[in-house]
Structure 1
Amino acid sequence: MEPAQRNCCTCSLSTILSLGLSALFLWFTLRTYPPKCSIKSLSLLTRNDTVVFQLSLQNENNDKGVKYDAVHLAFAVFLDNTTTHPLANATLRPFYQGHGKTTRKWGSAVAPHAARLNRTAAVKNGSVFLRVEFATRVKYKMWLNFYIKRHRLVGGANVEVNASSGEKVEPKAIRLGNVPPRLASRAVEVRNWYVSLVGIFVSGFFLVAATCVDR
Structure 2
Amino acid sequence: MEGLDYFRSFHERYQPKTAMSALRALREGLVEQEAYIHLGVSIKPADDEPVDLDEIDRILSRDDLDLETNILVVKILQKLVKDRDPETALFAAESINLIENRYNRRIEELKSSFKKTGDLSFLSRLANQFYELSRIYSGSISNFYLKEAYSCLARISRIKKITREDKALVLRVLLELKQYDQAASILEKTAERAEHIFIMLEAELEFRRRNFYQVIHQCARLFEFEEALDEEAKNILDYWLGD
Q: TM-score, normalising length from structure 1?
A: 0.23
Q: TM-score, normalising length from structure 2?
A: 0.21
The structure in which a higher percent of residues are helix is 2
The structure in which a higher percent of residues are strand is 1
Higher relative contact order (Cα pairs below 8 Å, separated by 6+ residues): 1
